[in-house]
Structure 1
């Protein structure tokens, strides 16, 4: 097909979609839902195949276990946020959060420290009081103990995931107590959270195998969508549609990455198995498929992380700060102060898995991985790294299939580098927005240098280093 014929075909398809939208919007919505259903069926089929492969290779076994135990049999992890199905003891948490949600944000933050101190104290007081009045901690503990004992009939995994998100969101709401985040909260070194938020957290973090007090990308973002794709725990209730849509669009990026990541994980497994069997033609097909799928994954980021979807004026003030942490506690065993940072895009599983599959050094330090990344996600990345075969390939292969594999690996690296260059540029624009109520801070690294210029230089060094490692 010639270029002009292809252009005409694409143009006709676009016109057909536009006509469908103008004259029969319900038909267009039905067609789009059909696409979603088709994609969901393919994703389910890939997950089933991973389970079938579990006995054939370690990577498949580790991935299948993660999907079963952390994902409640699905990926992205299934989270049952349907309130009426929760035991009464757990329902109180969600009801308290929703009741206080409108008190958390304000359109414009005060620059008066005393006003902010009072606002934070009042919010935390109301939060504590409602939790103390409504939550029966003994009943909650009995449910969590049942899960610890493997009684998932009493506390189903998808409900457990949703509760994990509920507690993580509640902890962040209590920690900051006001959105936008303000300087007096940033300068706190310790915040005594209510026992209703610390006791369940110990069980949850033990199950997921990470100790961070702040949670992670999975607990706060990926799990914050129900099985119908609805965004649950909002942080800007009552604010303008511009702020609300920006908040949700940002959260959806992280969920969508894992939706689009399922075919990538599946092809990683198949490529590794094929290479181990010296089936290079099959291996080449699966690596080529990863290359193709990566276009969709990165496209999702490029299509959403820009001013029209997530306004520059909204993200820093009404989104980013909530996912920070920057506080800690005194540890008697080590006689040291332990501080935890917040959420980071570097905790995203798909990109960690890609780095491991490619044989690239992990960005997060071993300490940060163990603190913030769920154990079964860490195990998957370690298994992928152990079976990474890229460095076993010849730089000048004579075999046609091996040459295809090498070329596709190079294309994957090229696309990851392009993505990281673009992320570096966009991060600077978003972090440079005026925020007079706060000190320079990222969610993942907490407080930075006193000036925004120094902070950006500090962050740029990390991003440049990551780009240089992507080879």
Structure 2
């Protein structure tokens, strides 16, 4: 086995995922292969030496960048409110006041000339040495940009109606550096910055929060949403490893070893998807709170760009890529939001096309295991279509119908929006064959 990968998947880094994973061990030693190298880069270059990523925060950043952390701490409790107004003029005043306060705090605390110099120097260092710090800074600046974009949480139609927003130079300058570093082009945060990189090392709280000052239900829902996404990735790292190994075995013309790797991957995936559905329930993630204080904040809806979305999760993009299923969102949207190290891993899987290779070589036992993976993914998508309706159908009169990943939906009410979403998910299910 590749101990250098599994060494990163340890109890201390798995965020205390309490699951049983009964699978027979693989006894074959996989040959070296480019698929394993891309997975190594995902861990080392993309995750700061771990997957899911391990982020570090203000104390690990260059000193002139640390004030961004303290601006976040000042703005956090000013962002959420319990009952949003339905008066658009009143909401406009709230948004403008919040943005003015953030501009003031940024101008008082941030020296853009020094920030530019520090970022230029930081970019010259080996990313393997500083990636965890970059990830934490990514989370901080993403929070500030989303907070500035919305001005109040829950989000309101006055903000949704904006087609563009001029961000302070103190937020534009570091964002350009972050775009270069992570190889993304979106003006918004993404799942990597808003979720993967936004949980403290002890996994006890969200680092940058949209629910400061709210009830325990608000705080626990935001925390559970973030930890849930991270826990899934912790559980999937061994599966990603088995996928890479299966490709290596196929290239070595060892179909028995590839079959065994995929058989174990099927067992582990089954446990992971069960965990998914057991966690996405009302007692863990309150639909009303999730819709207002998580989904809304993670959206964007500016300049024809969407925000963070579950469609950006590596688990499902990996499954689609490995199984030769057309990606959604599209390749163009993937380049917006998905960091380069993740895209390289996905494109490696797509390029190899293991299902085509197995069928072409008549490896029937390998094909059977791959078909089992497809069946699991289809069953998940059918179940998710039903589960999604509970969360997306919550009535929020202060805002237009919206999802984080599709932004404003052209629908007059939640019922019509759900019909639109079901249609899109139905297309996705039809492609999962």
Q: Same fold (TM over 0.5)?
A: yes
**CA distances 1:108-157 after superposition (whole Å, capped 9, x unpaired):** 1111111111111111111110010001222222221123223559x822
> Could you say what secondary structure the match of 2:283 adopts?
coil
- Aligned to 2:118, which of 118, 122, 143? 143
Residue 70 of structure 1 pairs with residue 31 of structure 2: no
Residue 371 of structure 1 pairs with residue 336 of structure 2: yes
- Aligned to 2:185, which of 196, 211, 214? 211
- Residue of structure 2 in register with 1:411 after alignment: 372
Using the TM superposition, name which of 144-153 and 270-279 deviates more. Answer: 144-153
Using the TM superposition, name which of 124-133 and 144-153 deviates more. Answer: 144-153
Shift of 1:288: 0.9
Contact 2:110 / 2:170 at 8 angstroms: preserved in 1? Answer: yes
Residue 184 of structure 1 pairs with residue 152 of structure 2: no
Relative to structure 1, the CA distance from residue 394 to residue 159 in structure 2 (aligned partners, 3 Å threshold; closer, same or farther) is closer
Output the CA distance in 2 between the equivalents of 1:152 and 1:408: 37
- Residue of structure 2 in register with 1:9 after alignment: none
> Could you say what secondary structure the match of 1:138 adopts?
helix
Output the CA distance in 1 between the equivalents of 2:120 and 2:126: 9
> Could you say what secondary structure the match of 1:263 adopts?
helix
Output the CA distance in 1 between the equivalents of 2:265 and 2:118: 41
> Could you say what secondary structure the match of 1:393 adopts?
helix
**CA distances 1:392-423 after superposition (whole Å, capped 9, x unpaired):** 334996xxxx4442332222111111111111
- Residue of structure 1 in register with 2:250 after alignment: 275
Contact 2:14 / 2:231 at 8 angstroms: preserved in 1? Answer: no
Residue 59 of structure 1 pairs with residue 35 of structure 2: yes
**CA distances 1:339-380 after superposition (whole Å, capped 9, x unpaired):** 211111111112111111111111221211111111221111
**CA distances 1:272-314 after superposition (whole Å, capped 9, x unpaired):** 1111111122111110111011123212321221111111221
- Aligned to 2:317, which of 348, 352, 357? 352
CA RMSD in angstroms, aligned pairs only: 2.2
Higher relative contact order, structure no. (Cα contacts within 8 Å, ≥ 6 residues apart): 2
Output the CA distance in 2 between the equivalents of 1:371 and 1:186: 20
What stretches of structure 2 of length at least 5 have no aligned partner? Answer: 1-9, 17-28
Output the CA distance in 1 between the equivalents of 2:125 and 2:13: 34
What stretches of structure 1 of length at least 5 have no aligned partner? Answer: 1-34, 42-51, 329-338
**CA distances 1:171-198 after superposition (whole Å, capped 9, x unpaired):** 0011011111111011111111111111
Shift of 1:461: 1.3
Output the CA distance in 1 between the equivalents of 2:188 and 2:85: 25
Residue 313 of structure 1 pairs with residue 274 of structure 2: no
Output the CA distance in 2 between the equivalents of 1:242 and 1:113: 27
Q: Which structure would you say has the larger Rg? A: 1
Contact 2:395 / 2:414 at 8 angstroms: preserved in 1? Answer: no
| TM-score normalised to structure 1 length | 0.83
Contact 2:298 / 2:308 at 8 angstroms: preserved in 1? Answer: yes
Relative to structure 1, the CA distance from residue 85 to residue 357 in structure 2 (aligned partners, 3 Å threshold; closer, same or farther) is closer
Aligned length: 410
Residue 103 of structure 1 pairs with residue 78 of structure 2: yes
Contact 1:169 / 1:233 at 8 angstroms: preserved in 2? Answer: yes
Contact 1:359 / 1:390 at 8 angstroms: preserved in 2? Answer: yes
**CA distances 1:229-277 after superposition (whole Å, capped 9, x unpaired):** 2421110101110111011111112211221121011111111111111
Relative to structure 1, the CA distance from residue 138 to residue 441 in structure 2 (aligned partners, 3 Å threshold; closer, same or farther) is same
- Residue of structure 2 in register with 1:465 after alignment: 427
- Residue of structure 2 in register with 1:243 after alignment: 218
